[in-house]
Chains A and B, each alone.
Chain A
Amino acid sequence: MDIRVDKDACVGCGLCVKDCPMHVYELQNKVSVPVRPNNCMGCLSCHEICPAQALEHRGIYPARRHYIDIKVCEMLRKVI
């Protein structure tokens, strides 16, 4: 697993450090650093919790998303 943290965006809140059950991240100099990327199982909790959207995972399996409403997405596309 390749995890990248945008150092400029990271606010050093440490939420990803607290939330990750596999202790993938550590705070170093007030920036989150993925110190154990091989322990990542790709749950993406850190993505959901990161207030700065500073994280990027590469080589991840994206789970199926049945809950996305196609009609709502179509409407959003029209607006955007």
Chain B
Amino acid sequence: MSAGYIDELHETFHSDLVYRSEDIPLDCTPKPKEMEQTLHGVMKLNGLVIRSLEEIAGRGANAVTYRAGKKFGHEVAKYFQKRENVEEALHELSDLLRGQYSFEVWKPEDKETFIIEENGETFIYLVFHDCIVRQTLRRNGLDQGGPLCQTLFGYVVGAIEEITGRKAKLEIVHTGPNACLKKLVLK
């Protein structure tokens, strides 16, 4: 390795910027466009972590990722206002997930209300449109509905439990390239 290259490296990582401890960064740097390589790197890494976890832990991987997601959901949602009304809670949840996931409350045309009661279960259909998990899986050529999806499940369940104080469960009904249908079962 030539000294010229080392000098060049030093030059790259040197600036005249004065950084004080009280300086609060208000913007992401660099700009999102320049973050593409980072985003793809993170997606690739996440995919490989999940693939390896599945290889080693088998079906146990789902439990690990679900648990991690649930903790994350509880952690994030504890700063949000508590709501007893499920509809308001879902509205709160969509604010919470903005930027990472976007979803809508959905019903088949033969159902009259969005809150459906069937076979002794009360549930709501949620259609997830934008989903960082789906992007990651497709980036890595992995199947949808596996352990990485469980992180989203845990996240939503944790957040709903935190906001409403009710126990909940999320089930996959269908996964697709553009949207996924989930069933939020309320207990």
Contact, CB under 8 Å: B129 / A61:
yes
A42 interface residue (CB < 8 Å to B)? yes
Main secondary structure of the interface of A (DSSP, over half): loop
Nearest first, the 5 A-B pairs at minimum CB distance are A43-B176, A44-B178, A67-B139, A45-B176, A21-B174
Query: Count the B residues whose beta carbon is within 8 Å of the partner chain — how many?
Result: 26
Q: Hey, which bits of chain B sit against chain A, CB under 8 A?
A: 36, 39-40, 43, 106, 108-109, 127, 129-132, 134-136, 138-139, 173-181
Q: Which of A38, A43, A47 contacts B181 (CB 8 A)?
A: A43
Known: A21-B174, A44-B177, A48-B177. 6 other contacts (CB 8 A): A41-B179, A42-B127, A42-B129, A43-B181, A63-B129, A66-B135
**Which residue from B39, B108, B173 sits with its C-beta under 8 Å from A66?**
B39
CA distance in complex: A45, B176 (Å): 5
> Measured between C-beta atoms, what is the minimum distance from B151 to chain A in Å?
16
Interchain nearest-CB distance for A16 vs B (Å) = 12
Residue of B nearest to A36 (CB): B109
- 18 A-B residue pairs with Cβ-Cβ distance under 8 Å, sorted by A, are A22-B108, A39-B109, A42-B179, A43-B178, A43-B179, A44-B176, A44-B178, A44-B179, A45-B176, A47-B178, A61-B179, A62-B178, A63-B131, A64-B130, A64-B135, A66-B135, A67-B43, A67-B135
Contact of A70 among B36, B135, B136, B175 (CB under 8 A): B36
- Assess whether B130 is in contact with A21, with CB atoms less than 8 Å apart: no
Q: Which residues on the A side are within 8 Å of B174 (C-beta)?
A: 21, 43, 45
